[in-house]
Amino acid sequence: HRAFALQLRLVGLISFSPMQQTTLGKSTLKVTRLSYGCWRIAGTWDSNRVTPQARTEGVQAVITAYEAGYTFFDLADIYCDGVAEEIFGEALRKSKPLRSVAVIATKCGIRPPNTPASGAPYRYDFSSKYIIKSCDDSLKRLGADCIDLYQLHRPDYLMDPAEIAKAFAKLKKAGKVKHFGVSNFKPSQVATLQSALKQPLLVNQVEISLSQLEPFEDGTLDQCLAEKITPMAWSPLGGGHLGDGAKQVLPSQEGYRTGKIRRALDKLAREFGVSRGAIALAWLLRHPAGIVPVVGTTRPERIKELTAADAIELTREQWYSLFTAARKTDLP
């Protein structure tokens, strides 16, 4: 049934077919196993260069993702200085069906340089005042009354767990946020923050892919399993290196060498009749921690084709064939 629905989605015979769902962390919040990442929907990182056409294309990318089956949408206030949230808000206003099913996740805590005053450095800010203001600003840009999942974007080295707990409690009581999570946190940082919170952290969003195996070995996925925290995988295709080519990558991803991995992916892609990107996502979905890959392409055909991962379950042997291809050294 899933495979048949997938084929209908891919050829455009049905307008919406949801994927399988998973539960986020210890909550009852249900989301699709793939999340649609909105960091690219403005077409640029420079808010001054966003054109009306780019906005229109961004709205269409979001609606295409919904029609392909995604209901879990990942954003951040830092994405194009808030323009990505504005574009997503436009998509919500344009599509009532999308608004009725969308689970909205966004993030705060990164402050650009020269804000609020000239000379201020790029930095992280988990002060209660900034968290609450950031949430209010995101809600306004999204045109929403409530954020389903609100995450702290990158660890603030001046993080005061008690202060964060007060901010979270205020946002929860005001009905502005339903659930909370973190992003790019080490296990010790997750544990430290959780110790001060009454509500459980639902997710830790980190870079996980066949190009970035560190979460398998640094305790991140172990903690997620033990504490029932859902790992979200940003850049699950290694900035595109594992898909059809890297077009916009972070400095840390420029040195990824994926020839061996791509050959292993292509072998399985031929067996399943899907793209190598879909196999790379299925590899993440196979992990028992319930990894939710965040798909970031804005190309309609890619948005649709990657949903094939939802219907693929790799065997242990297939999973390890990719894992060993990705490792720099043989398994001990």
Q: DSSP of 166-198, one letter per residue?
A: HHHHHHHHTTSEEEEEEES--HHHHHHHHTT-S
> Distances from the Cα of 297 to the Cαs of 104, 221, 252, in angstroms?
18, 25, 19
Burial of 182 (0-12, 13-18, 19+ CB in 10 A): buried
Nearest-angstrom CA–CA distance, 12 and 207: 31
Q: Is-contact 82 141, C-beta < 8 A? A: yes
Q: DSSP of 251-299, one letter per residue?
A: GGGTT---HHHHHHHHHHHHHHTS-HHHHHHHHHHTSTT--EEEE----
Q: Which residue has the tokens 């490792």?
A: 327
Nearest-angstrom CA–CA distance, 130 and 111: 9
| DSSP-derived 3-state class of residue 100 | helix
Q: Is-contact 275 269, C-beta < 8 A? A: yes
**Among residues 70, 79, 150, 256, which one is catalytic?**
79
Instruction: Report the 10 Å Cβ neighbour count for 278.
Output: 25
Of 190, 211, 217, the closest CA to residue 332 belongs to 217
79 carries an active-site annotation: yes
The two three-digit tokens of residue 235, written as one number: 């850049």
> Distances from the Cα of 308 to the Cαs of 4, 220, 240, 323, in angstroms?
11, 27, 17, 20
3-state helix, strand, coil in the chain (%, to 5): 45, 15, 40
Catalytically active residues, by annotation: 79
